[in-house]
Structure 1
Amino acid sequence: MAQLPLRRACLSALLLTLAGAALPLSASAQGAFPTKPITLIVPFPAGGSTDRHLRIVAQDASKYLGQPVIVENRPGAGGTLGTATMAKTAKPDGYTIALYTLAMLRMPYMQKSSWDPINDFTFILGLSGYTFGFTVRSDSPYKTFNEYIEAARQAPGKIDYGSTGIGSSPHLLIEEIAINAKVKLNHVPFKGNADMQQALLGGHVMAQSDATGWDQFVDSGKMRLLVTFGEKRTTRWPDVPTAQELGYKVVSTSPYGLAGPKGMDPAVVKTLHDAFKKALFDQASMDVMKQLNQSPAYRNSEDYKAWAQATFVKEKGLIEYLGLMAK
């Protein structure tokens, strides 16, 4: 009789094991992720600086994931359209992810949005940040940034510049400078930096504020770089002053990274995180970042979400200060 409780215990354990086996396994438990190509949405047109870096990172991440990572460009709404659409329509299975930029933390303050920049996303990792610069054509009458600002002072609202959209970092940092300098500039938004650069070279806009997609034109002598917006002067253009040196308390690198829709399996997130982290520090990625005068700004999933939460709170003050809050 003493063996009966033991038999019952063994039978119970067997039934629990069988019941557990009948439950659907997560992708990570099956060891199946990924089993097909992954789509990486870049919310900017092809050919710009961000697109250049992400394509290299995606190519190297494919090696570590064992499946292709396909870059899909979906520009619009200041770099938020593609990412926001992903959050609302993609399945949280890890097969559709997107570039997540600082604009995602600003746009909800500037217009009514159907998405939440924190709660509608799963944060995967932080990748890098930009070197922003302000350029004119090489034959422009403006030899320095202060000359450009002085021209705006003499002709309020008539001196223009382009950026990659209302609410983008290149737009807001120039508007912040304009407020500090007490001048009024005419902002011309573009869908992407490739279109904007051609508009500048064609004489359709006087200047542009952007990341280093303009580097080739500055180095070839077709554009003149008037100012950059980092903490220090760049090693690539050491003769160009920073905005801080000119008396403007503006520093901007606009970190970017990768995110997926909310509700992703943590193990799938880790698989993506690990592959893209390796790709970020691969030589091909490092070479492209050097060309763009960028450097890694890696954050793990937890730190990247914490950065987004803190930045979302901080950006509200900037948007209010610039008078861009949605009414």
Structure 2
Amino acid sequence: MPASSSRLQRRDVLVAGAAGAAGLLLPQWARAADEFPSRPITFICPWPAGGTADASMRAICEVAGRILKQPVTVDNRAGAAGMIGAQAIANAKPDGYTIGQIPISVTRFSQLGTLKADPRKDFTYIARTSGQTFGIAVLPQSKFKTLKDMVEYAKANPGKVTYAHAGVGGATHVGMEEFAMAAGIQLNAIAYKGGSAALNDTLGGQVDMLADSSSWAPHVEAGKLRLLATWGEERTPRFKDTPTLKDLGYNVVVDAPNGIGAPKGLPPEIDKKLRDAFRAAVKSDEFKAVAARIDAPVMYLDGPDYQKYVMATYDKETHLIERLKLKELLAKG
């Protein structure tokens, strides 16, 4: 074999070997991102199956799964006002195969010690999806025909008006106490282990009022409860005749938007694939229909903007915790 031909062969072998070595030297996440997703994705929902949050997440995961061409399977891990599921997301492997719903209350509970994770740095944020419709409801025979009636009575009888909420430090408790401060009244907060128990005791006449998300909606429509006010920026289309707290002169807005996230350290290309999929899923008619049915206004933000929102909310919650003395309330149980 001529020397020149032998040198060419050796060069070709060296080039091929170098190319193979370069492939081996690619970061593991880059190779994984090319294949992602190659198997089903687990989606942790931090609320019980059958609730409004569960319904919205199942709808969005169904659409996202079709886009990603792999099932996105909902795994309900309820408890501790959503923090058991949030903790599981923070502790998961950052490979894109474990993601989930992150309640905005992580910004409060991390500071109260219920969540052993820092939402400012322990999550990768994929999308903010939708909010919730909160409101104050009473029985039809209640002496409070309007919110003004209740405020006037509460001012004359400090601490006598009771309301049921879904747990100390949760959105319904904090929102109601924000309103009470704005109205200059003192209410008697009765904590329950979830909105269902709070609703049942309100229907049973054990408390004067219910502060909750839209669990009251079918009972209001059936005439079993009367809605005094909602807490959103605008009136909800389903109950457009009911004023918001802002309509009534109280600068209090609570919509507690939920979002989707993953553990910190998610590879950038996998992050992008998930953000693109859930952006399309939030905008789908299928998700919008479910959101409308459960009074969950669509409040989409892309991952980076959602992270900025979380950071701003964290700072707001720091001041709110101090103002409402939430640590002291939790200590008392």
**TM-score, structure 1 normalization:** 0.89
1:257 paired with 2:259, answer yes
Question: What secondary structure sits across from 2:311 in the alignment?
Answer: helix
Which residue of structure 2 lines up, in the alignment, with residue 86 of structure 1? Answer: 89
Q: Please say if residues 45 and 194 of structure 1, whose CA atoms lie closer than 8 Å, have aligned partners that are also in contact.
A: no
Amino acid at match of 2:78: P
Over aligned residues, Cα RMSD in angstroms?
A: 2.7
Structure 1, 157-166 or 12-21: larger mean CA deviation? 12-21
Amino acid at match of 1:83: A
Structure 2 CA distance for partners of 1:16 and 1:110, relative to 1, 3 Å? same
Question: Which ranges of structure 2 fall in alignment gaps of 5 or more residues?
Answer: none
Which residue of structure 1 lines up, in the alignment, with residue 288 of structure 2? Answer: 286
Structure 1, 227-236 or 259-268: larger mean CA deviation? 227-236
Q: More helix per residue: 1 or 2?
A: 2
Which residue of structure 1 lines up, in the alignment, with residue 47 of structure 2? Answer: 44
Q: Please say if residues 233 and 242 of structure 1, whose CA atoms lie closer than 8 Å, have aligned partners that are also in contact.
A: yes
Amino acid at match of 1:163: H
Amino acid at match of 2:66: K
Amino acid at match of 1:234: T
Question: What secondary structure sits across from 2:197 in the alignment?
Answer: helix
Q: Please say if residues 87 and 115 of structure 2, whose CA atoms lie closer than 8 Å, have aligned partners that are also in contact.
A: no
Amino acid at match of 1:139: Q
For 1:68 and 1:141, locate their aligned partners in 2 and report how far apart those are by CA, in whole Å: 51
Structure 1, 33-42 or 240-249: larger mean CA deviation? 33-42
Which residue of structure 2 lines up, in the alignment, with residue 307 of structure 1? Answer: 309
Structure 2 CA distance for partners of 1:311 and 1:7, relative to 1, 3 Å? farther
Q: Please say if residues 75 and 192 of structure 1, whose CA atoms lie closer than 8 Å, have aligned partners that are also in contact.
A: no
Which residue of structure 1 lines up, in the alignment, with residue 154 of structure 2? Answer: 152
Aligned counterpart in structure 2 of residue 206 of structure 1, from 205, 208, 211: 208
Once the two structures are superposed, what CA deviation does each residue of 1:39-61 show, in whole Å capped at 9, x if it has no partner? 22222222322122112111222
1:55 paired with 2:58, answer yes
1:138 paired with 2:130, answer no
Q: Report the alpha carbon displacement of residue 143 of structure 1 after superposing the two structures with TM.
A: 1.4
Structure 1, 227-236 or 27-36: larger mean CA deviation? 27-36
Q: Please say if residues 45 and 191 of structure 1, whose CA atoms lie closer than 8 Å, have aligned partners that are also in contact.
A: no
Q: Which has the larger radius of gyration?
A: 2
Structure 2 CA distance for partners of 1:295 and 1:274, relative to 1, 3 Å? same
For 2:75 and 2:161, locate their aligned partners in 1 and report how far apart those are by CA, in whole Å: 35
Which residue of structure 2 lines up, in the alignment, with residue 183 of structure 1? Answer: 185
Aligned length: 326
For 2:156 and 2:54, locate their aligned partners in 1 and report how far apart those are by CA, in whole Å: 38
Question: What secondary structure sits across from 2:105 in the alignment?
Answer: helix
Question: What secondary structure sits across from 2:318 in the alignment?
Answer: helix
Structure 2 CA distance for partners of 1:139 and 1:37, relative to 1, 3 Å? farther
**TM-score, structure 2 normalization:** 0.87
Question: Which ranges of structure 1 fall in alignment gaps of 5 or more residues?
Answer: none
Once the two structures are superposed, what CA deviation does each residue of 1:7-56 show, in whole Å capped at 9, x if it has no partner? 99877654431212234764663533223322222222223221221121
Equivalent positions of 1:12-51 (< 5 A) are: 13-23=15-25, 26=28, 29-30=31-32, 31-51=34-54
Amino acid at match of 1:285: F
1:70 paired with 2:47, answer no
Structure 1, 294-303 or 196-205: larger mean CA deviation? 196-205
For 1:116 and 1:248, locate their aligned partners in 2 and report how far apart those are by CA, in whole Å: 31
Which residue of structure 2 lines up, in the alignment, with residue 318 of structure 1? Answer: 320
Q: Please say if residues 135 and 227 of structure 2, whose CA atoms lie closer than 8 Å, have aligned partners that are also in contact.
A: yes
For 1:13 and 1:151, locate their aligned partners in 2 and report how far apart those are by CA, in whole Å: 86
Once the two structures are superposed, what CA deviation does each residue of 1:177-210 show, in whole Å capped at 9, x if it has no partner? 1122232222223333333323322333332222
Which residue of structure 2 lines up, in the alignment, with residue 223 of structure 1? Answer: 225
